[in-house]
Amino acid sequence: MSPDSIPTTAFPSPVQDPSPSPLRHSTHHVHKPAWMSDYVCNHHSTFSTTHLYFVAQLSVLQEPRSYSQAQERAEWELAMKDEIQALERNNTWSLTYLPDGK
């Protein structure tokens, strides 16, 4: 086979774009949802010293997980008594016995 007999395919040369197209920016205006306007966010630097102390105490407080833990603190003892009195006053509880084996 001679080189003249081999078929050749002509490839088009790549076309160079002389200047790139400028970036197109959207003209759509984005609005935040209405529900995002329903609350106010404040930075902690605007809080009073008293309020900062109160917030700091919230992170330290722990609710008791059992009766024995609750009876160790006077404020929880008072809360339990208030709760029982409210139940009795509203007749919304009754004393029952545990089933056998419990």
**For residue 80, is it within any domain?**
yes
| pLDDT per residue as tens digits for the range 46-84 | 889 999 888 888 887 788 999 999 999 999 999 999 999
Task: State the Cα–Cα distance between residues 71 and 86, nearest whole angstrom.
Answer: 18
Task: State the Cα–Cα distance between residues 60 and 10, nearest whole angstrom.
Answer: 80
**For residue 30, is it within any domain?**
no
Task: State the Cα–Cα distance between residues 70 and 61, nearest whole angstrom.
Answer: 13
**For residue 37, is it within any domain?**
no
**For residue 61, is it within any domain?**
no
Is the whole model's pTM more than 0.85, yes or no?
no
| pLDDT per residue as tens digits for the range 20-49 | 778 888 888 888 888 877 877 777 778 899
**For residue 16, is it within any domain?**
no
State the residue range of the domain holding 82.
Answer: 67-91
User: In total, how many domains does the chain have?
Assistant: 1
